[in-house]
Chains A and B, each alone.
Chain A
């Protein structure tokens, strides 16, 4: 199985090595100009993150005018006292928000991925009645701005009493037309019909064929769709902002935004700035780790939709 599943990446890798070797031969060495250009880009993209890392080690006084300036560490190291502050502020509500973000992102992301895998496979490998029509509507739906749905979804959910519950965030997050589209494109190429027919001839039912034959072949696309939908839910701001009002149910994005508004208004006192920076710093770590550790999947996977 391993051999079959890895085929798309292996081909990709071979091409990459081929062109790299040729480039080296052609240029005879590293290119200075290109590397300087990249260095400038990297500095631009990394500076805010560097600032946040440094800021998370400062107390409020240090943020306003520390000895090291905004882009360097102070003499005093306040990361752990900030951490403690996050545990103390409103009985550690920050950790509750972080936990909520995990809950929403994982249940919404996993749910959306399962639906997308099933539907993408169905669209790709069965010629059922109404397929073309449904898929056409779905392609149109990719272009419907999801934020345009937030207000009507809010009104609908409130009419069934689901507003201000975790379901108000999780259920709408299960919708991922783009995920279905990606899965269909990938399944069409990665799962050969002959293999499925062979399994059927061998007496495997449709469900068993799906789980034992198709699913392992779809793995690279599954990881990509999972990452995209987890990130989508984790980043979502408009939907939870609209449907949640109980502070204990907020995800970390909405919660920190609330702290920022509070600090700007001056009513919560200045002490919150250091908690905002430390809270923001901690909240971005999980996704950065996820992306770094899963790079071999998403780097190829993100281009899937455009190959056709």
Chain B
């Protein structure tokens, strides 16, 4: 506070003057400073978001072959993409992931946050940190670790299942790889979502629960009828994060591909497909169309979700 009061003493006489002069022109001139503050970000925003988007869109309207060079083909690449069984299958895969992985992560995160919100022991503080820690691990390292743990050669699975006299499932076989990936992502992100939800729960005024307790509400009723509705905007935000992340699924399957030989094709998800089209086959135009099409799909789905939940999220 010292810094704000110090200059006051040096110009005490000018203060009232400036207040009178403030309206209109002076006001507008001052507001222009806003652009100066925003300008550096705006530059990066234009160069690395708008420009690539426009560029990708332009590229997606051309094909490039050795024989004919660059040729304008209009929407051909998009017609090709949306009738390309590999791309559609990839979209189907990430949609399936979204339907199973997001509820799994939300359930773990929400239940953990609700349990933690009711406790104030050192054990609960410790648990909160430990559940969150995987977020600090790079996704590549997380996927590498789970790859080791799943592996029949290195992993502990056979000894753990051996205790119960069972044979360990082959986590990396084609039939099980879906569940194995769901597990990796849940492990990595549930803690992060839990912290967001937990912080929102802490933000609720505890006075609200008192009335419910007086009316004889149980903990479960308080959790489901009061807490969950009150943090719905956080829940919406978490689902949006998870949705955007899931539809761009790339790193985990890409890393696990190395260990799970044959179980994950190079075109498993749309992003992996675009990557291999661009960097293995140099089909940059078609890869841009795939990227752009995926971007549109993600944008449309997030938008639909936000629209459907506009009441809960408080966004208009």
- Chains A and B belong together in one complex: yes
A positions within 8 Å CB-CB of B: 1, 3-4, 12, 15-16, 18-20, 22-24, 26, 30-31, 34-35, 37-39, 41-42, 44-49, 51-52, 55, 63-64, 69-71, 114-116, 118-119, 121-123, 125-131, 134, 138, 140-141, 143-156, 171-172, 174-175, 177, 180, 195, 198-204, 206, 210, 212-213, 231, 234-235, 237-238, 241-242, 252-254, 256-257, 260-261, 264, 273, 276-277, 280, 283-284, 287-288, 290-292, 295, 298-300, 302-303, 305-308
With a cutoff of 8 Å between Cβ atoms, the chain B residues found around residue A242 in the complex are: 275, 278-279
**How close is B160's CB to chain A, nearest CB, in angstroms?**
8
**Judging by beta carbons under 8 Å apart, are A284 and B138 in contact?**
yes
**Judging by beta carbons under 8 Å apart, are A306 and B233 in contact?**
yes
With A and B bound together, what is the CA distance between A292 and B38 in angstroms? 32
Given known contacts A69-B156, A144-B299, A121 and B37 CB-to-CB distance under 8 angstroms: yes
**Judging by beta carbons under 8 Å apart, are A177 and B45 in contact?**
yes
**Judging by beta carbons under 8 Å apart, are A128 and B129 in contact?**
no
**How close is A279's CB to chain B, nearest CB, in angstroms?**
9
**Judging by beta carbons under 8 Å apart, are B44 and A115 in contact?**
yes
**Judging by beta carbons under 8 Å apart, are A152 and B291 in contact?**
yes
With A and B bound together, what is the CA distance between A128 and B27 in angstroms? 10
**Judging by beta carbons under 8 Å apart, are B240 and A143 in contact?**
yes
**Judging by beta carbons under 8 Å apart, are B133 and A172 in contact?**
no
Interface footprint category on B? 35 or more
| B34: contacting residue among A44, A125, A264, A277, CB under 8 A | A125
With a cutoff of 8 Å between Cβ atoms, the chain A residues found around residue B255 in the complex are: 237, 257, 260
Nearest chain-A residue to B243 (Cβ)? A143
**Judging by beta carbons under 8 Å apart, are A256 and B53 in contact?**
no
B positions within 8 Å CB-CB of A: 1-4, 7-8, 10-11, 14-15, 18-19, 30-38, 40-42, 44-45, 47-49, 51-53, 55-56, 59, 108, 111-112, 115-121, 123-124, 126-127, 129-142, 144-149, 153-156, 159, 187, 191-192, 195-196, 199-200, 202-203, 205-206, 209-210, 213, 231, 233-234, 236-237, 240, 244, 247-248, 250-251, 254-255, 258-259, 261, 271, 274-275, 278-279, 284, 287-288, 291-292, 294-295, 298-299, 302-303, 314
Given known contacts A149-B48, A202-B8, A202-B11, A34 and B37 CB-to-CB distance under 8 angstroms: no
With a cutoff of 8 Å between Cβ atoms, the chain B residues found around residue A146 in the complex are: 248
User: B interface, by DSSP: helix, strand, loop or mixed?
Assistant: helix
**Judging by beta carbons under 8 Å apart, are B34 and A122 in contact?**
yes
| A64: contacting residue among B147, B153, B274, B302, CB under 8 A | B153
With A and B bound together, what is the CA distance between A231 and B133 in angstroms? 12
**Judging by beta carbons under 8 Å apart, are A63 and B294 in contact?**
no
With A and B bound together, what is the CA distance between A123 and B115 in angstroms? 37
With A and B bound together, what is the CA distance between A234 and B144 in angstroms? 16
**Judging by beta carbons under 8 Å apart, are A202 and B15 in contact?**
yes
**How close is B84's CB to chain A, nearest CB, in angstroms?**
16
**Judging by beta carbons under 8 Å apart, are A151 and B291 in contact?**
yes
Given known contacts A51-B148, A288-B133, A291-B133, A302 and B199 CB-to-CB distance under 8 angstroms: yes
With a cutoff of 8 Å between Cβ atoms, the chain A residues found around residue B55 in the complex are: 152, 155-156
